[in-house]
Copies of this chain bind each other. A is one copy, B any other.
Amino acid sequence: MSPRHAACDVIPHPRAEVASGQQSLRDRYQGVRAATLELCRPLATEDYVIQTMTDVSPTKWHLAHTTWFFETFVLVPALDDYRPFHEQYRYLFNSYYNAVGPQFIRANRGVLSRPTVAEIREYRAHVDMQMDRLFETRPERCAEHHDVIEIGLHHEQQHQELVLTDIKHVFSQNPLLPAYHERALGSGSAAELQWHTRDEGVYRIGASPSGFSYDNERQRHRVFLDAFALASRLVTNAEYLEFVRDGGYSRPALWLSDGWNEVQRSGWTAPLYWFERDGCWSEFTLSGPEALRPELPVTHVSYFEADAYARWRGQRLPTEAEWEVFAADSPIAGNFVESGRFHPQAAGSATDAVGSPQQLYGDVWEWTASAYLPYPGYSPPTGALGEYNGKFMSNQMVLRGGSCATPRDHVRATYRNFFYPTARWQFSGIRLAAGV
């Protein structure tokens, strides 16, 4: 590391230390960018091109879009002499930033054979080189744009997760059922379900000003909670299978009305990647099709399924505030993308669960009963990055805790993920809650 580069990070910045820990921003940039490419290593060129539904983007689009983010929001404003790599990329790789300009139609991302994967790798290399020039030669500009670079890295980590969940969907739609990697799912048995309680009272949730957080986690505020209980671990495949076998998917009384409509419209009879042959259930994983393991957490369920399951059990989903109250007291540890499993694993023995719920972080995103709405006093940043989170605050539900496809340093207790209640292609699962 050169002295000039180091210069960048000695510029004092209140958030820098917290956000990047011991690592310099430059190191962190290089690490995150390399990790994205690493996830693509098992793919054939053809795999990078496919879009199986509007929610899914081709892998090469992810590679380009995350690069476009740094080009557009960092290099262009920070380097006076910076010339965009290609004039049409501004349009092609803009996801949804109206303030930047028009966007290529999302549903059509899979019709673009060009730029090729090789060209997009060149684009990445070009931007990385320029970012490096910025880190090395312009510490003051680097400091000015520190927060946006930080957002860009978190943004890229979100897309790392999508690279995995999107390619899983792509492979699942192919009758050949290709595997992304060869890996055993692991074994074990799930700990017994227990309940952890909290008393009624006024609690504080949301991100404090120090440390990195997205705008939607702020501001920290008070909420009143009635006394409640949270399950000690995630719902397992075995437990969910009981629901399936009890006719869960054919009893409208268990479902929200919109959920029941979706069950009928889409013909849902089980979680997204489950399939049944001769009475035996399997699930499609990133290692290909596998016999359903009873002890593993159920995943790839929609909010509507999570809600119906909870109702069938006579319980409910936690609110995001209830979840956060427990998570704030728990260390950020679990089965993250770094494990290389790319699949949730069984809750360990009860011993490590003394005092606090297991699996709060990693494994699967946990659907909450909370609609994704602004916190009191919320205001988005000005400019294009104001479109990052705020404009999606309708019709979506909050999920918490990260998944087996999430980088460990990407999540925190206050992190709010959000998806439509019909979405199933993420590693999304269920933790129960109840009144006391």
**A76 contacts B by Cβ under 8 Å:** no
A281 at the A/B interface (Cβ < 8 Å)?
no
Distance (Å) between the CB of A205 and the closest chain B CB?
11
Given A111-B170, A114-B46, A222-B224 contact (CB < 8 Å): yes
Q: How far is the CA of A52 from the CA of B173 in the complex (A)?
A: 18
Interface residues of A in 344-382 (CB under 8 A from B): 369-371, 373-374, 376-377
CB-nearest residue of chain B relative to A44?
B116
Residues of chain B within 8 A (CB-CB) of A96 are 257
Decide if A256 is an interface residue (CB 8 Å cutoff).
yes
Residues on B with beta carbons closer than 8 Å to the beta carbon of A394: 256-259, 303-304, 307, 397, 421
Contact A47/B421 with A91-B175, A258-B394 known, Cβ cut-off 8 Å: no
- Residue A34 CB within 8 A of the other chain: no
10 additional A-B pairs beyond A88-B175, A104-B175, beta carbons within 8 Å, are A46-B46, A88-B176, A99-B253, A114-B176, A222-B226, A256-B391, A256-B393, A257-B394, A304-B394, A369-B374
* Mask: chain A, 213-225; 1 = CB below 8 Å from B; 0 = not: 0000000011110
* A112 partner, pick from B108, B174, B258, beta carbons under 8 A: B174
A104 closest partner in B (C-beta):
B175
**A224, A258, A392, A394: residue with the most chain B Cβ atoms closer than 10 Å:** A394
Chain B's nearest CB lies how many Å from the CB of A103? Answer: 11
| A110, B110: Cα distance in complex, Å | 8
Using an 8 Å CB-CB cutoff, how does the interface string of A162-190 with B read, 1 for contact, 0 for none?
A: 00000000100111101000000000000
Q: How far is the CB of A310 from chain B (nearest CB, A)?
A: 12
A295-326 Cβ-contact flags toward B at 8 Å (1 or 0) = 00000000110010000000000000000000
Is the C-beta of A395 less than 8 angstroms from some C-beta in chain B? yes
Query: Roughly how many angstroms separate A99 CA and B394 CA in the complex, as a whole number?
Result: 30
Chain B residue at minimal CB-CB distance from A175: B88
- Pick the most buried of A44, A48, A303, A387: most chain B CB atoms within 10 A of its CB: A44
Most buried by B among A47, A221, A257, A259: A257
Q: How far is the CA of A116 from the CA of B303 in the complex (A)?
A: 36
Please list the residues of chain A having a beta carbon within 8 angstroms of any beta carbon in chain B. Answer: 44-52, 60, 88, 91-92, 96, 98-99, 104, 108, 110-117, 170, 173-176, 178, 202, 221-224, 226, 252-253, 255-260, 303-304, 307, 369-371, 373-374, 376-377, 386-387, 391-395, 397, 421, 435
B371 touches A373 (CB 8 A): yes
Distance in angstroms between the alpha carbons of A48 and B45 in the assembled complex: 11
Contacts of A50 in B (CB 8 A): 49, 110-113
The listed residue (B99, B224, B257) touching A224 by CB distance below 8 A is B224
* Pair A421/B435 contact, Cβ less than 8 Å: no
In the assembly, what is the distance between CA of A49 and CA of B110, in Å? 9
Q: Which residues of B contact A252 (CB under 8 A)?
A: 98
Tell me whether A226 and B376 are in contact in the complex, defined as CB-CB below 8 angstroms, given that A88-B175, A88-B176, A391-B255 are known contacts: yes
In whole angstroms, how far apart are the Cα atoms of A46 and B370 in the complex? 42
**Which B residue sits closest to A176, measured CB to CB?**
B114
- The distance in angstroms between the C-alpha atoms of A99 and B91, with both chains bound, is 43
CA A175 to CA B117, docked complex, whole Å? 17
| Residues on B with beta carbons closer than 8 Å to the beta carbon of A114 | 44, 46-47, 174, 176, 178
Q: Which of B222, B223, B253, B259 contacts A98 (CB 8 A)?
A: B253
